[in-house]
Amino acid sequence: MGLICKFPGGIHPFEGVGGKKTTSALSTIEPPQPTHVIIPLRQNIGAPCSVLVKEGDDVRVGQRIGEPVGPVSAAVHASVSGVVTACKPCILANGALEPCVIIQNDFRDAWIERKPISQPEALSAKELGEAARETGIVGMGGAMFPYGVKLDIPRDKSIDTLILNGSECEPYVTADHRLMLEHSLEIIQGALLIQRVLNVRHVIIGIKSSKLDAIETMRKAGQSQAGFTVRCLPDCYPQGSEKQLVYAITRRIVKMGDLPLDCGVLVCNVASVRALWQAVYQGRPLVDRIVTVGGYVQKPANYRVRIGTPVEWLIEAAGGFLPDVKMLIFGGPMMGVAINRQDFPVVKGCSAITALGKKDVILTAEEPCIRCGRCVDACPVKLEPVTIDRGMRKNWFDGAGRNDALNCMECGICSWICPSRRSLTQSVKACKKNISQGHSAAASTEGGK
């Protein structure tokens, strides 16, 4: 369980008031339920669900309100009991206008009848994947990839290693840390389900070296299980990214354009694995998750939050903002998005709401690039953000594409480390969007002059 070599690049971001040291030591809190929830019908990569309810319908907790559409989808369920007040498009934190179901809470917390699977040990991989699809399980680390698809391994692929991602490398965020301390056995049992149906030999739990209590707790929980080990990882960002995690633990390289399963590895977030255990052994769909409310709030904490809870409800539960708050982020400070309103709902992939203070937010004008190369040295994907940025600013999208702009994981390191405060991450995002929309050919002639 010793410290192993890290991936190339990466940084150790600064944390200010209300960081990991504050919230990791505090047990998860069950806050008061919100008066209403706004539940998006698209909480996964792929197609949105088709709505199953209408205005005026009474619903119970766990009732399916969104039916999966297409192979890449996952069901959506009511997170509170009450009355449907609207089914309409709403703006989400990522700026997208998505169909949502709004439920007025009756505070009875009336559940549907839950039906655990009677013989979990007899499940096939297809049946486990279908259970994940029907109970709405997606990647809860942020990607929100449907687990019904994740567990459907192509016949020409062979998985020998399952990695449980407990690294949680974003500053301020400790939701998975607390989950591992409080629900370690359930995580291990969920991993056993995947190990058995996919016939996986090795199950490796990756946890950062700074989480000594979580390392010890998960080691004890899995010590009697064949093939289970815990690996201690360097305290570096973005350690939790799949490709970087696979390399750090197995030294296998996931090539550009490939997935971890192409080199025999399946990576699962610990929260998603625990949700899979709940689906199988409790018949419980994914209706809540742990969210870290950290930074410049009166009472930083981890809260068990119903999906669809407005951000303002969590800020109120945390006692409101401290006087010097400057910016509110939906997610962690590196890959989250800054928001200017608090009515956005918590979704399945949201692990944090972060309030940053004046000392944490540097709002200065961009300066000319000084060719220091820091963005290149720190990039975990070995890209040249400065070159892609230059191509974007000249509308030279073909050139940026040749520099592998589409492989950027948008981790934010290049912008964070740039001494000239260049908006490198935002530039690469814009470049990727233009390339994907087919603008490169038209623009490249002018940009190449």
Contact predicate 47/69, CB 8 Å: yes
Write the class of the CATH domain 122-282. alpha beta
Task: Determine contact, residues 151/197, Cβ cutoff 8 Å.
Answer: yes
Query: Mean pLDDT over all residues of the chain?
Result: 91
pLDDT at 103: 98
Tell me the residue type at 319.
Answer: G
Task: Please state the pTM of the whole predicted model.
Answer: 0.92
Predicted confidence (pLDDT) at residue 274 exceeds the cutoff of 60: yes
In three-state secondary structure terms, 49 is coil
Q: How confident is the model at residue 285 (pLDDT cuts 50, 70, 90)?
A: very high
Flag whether pLDDT at 447 surpasses 50. Answer: no
Q: Using the predicted structure, report yes or no on whether residue 52 has a pLDDT greater than 70.
A: yes
**What is the distance between the terminal CA atoms of the chain, rounded to a whole angstrom?**
55
440 has pLDDT over 80 = no
Query: 72-116: per-residue pLDDT in tens?
Result: 999 999 999 999 999 999 999 999 999 999 999 999 999 999 999
Average pLDDT over residues 222-241: 93
> What pLDDT is stored for residue 337 in this prediction?
92
| b/e 118-157 (16+ beta carbons within 10 angstroms → b) | eebeebebeebbebbbbbbbbbbbbebbbbbbbbbbeeee
* Cβ atoms < 10 Å from Cβ of 251: 9
| Domain at 36-108+287-357: CATH code | 3.10.20.600
Residue 26: Cβ within 10 Å count: 14
**Predicted confidence band at 399 (pLDDT cuts at 50, 70, 90)?**
low
Share of the chain above pLDDT 90, in %: 78
| pLDDT score of 448 more than 50 | no
Query: What confidence tens digit (pLDDT) does each residue in 14-39 have?
Result: 888 888 999 999 999 999 999 999 99
- CB neighbours of residue 427 within 10 Å: 22
- DSSP letter at 315 equals H
State the pLDDT at residue 253.
Answer: 92
Instruction: Return the number of other C-beta atoms located less than 10 Å from residue 71's C-beta.
Output: 12
- Give the start-to-end residue ranges of the domains of the chain: 36-108+287-357, 122-282, 374-447
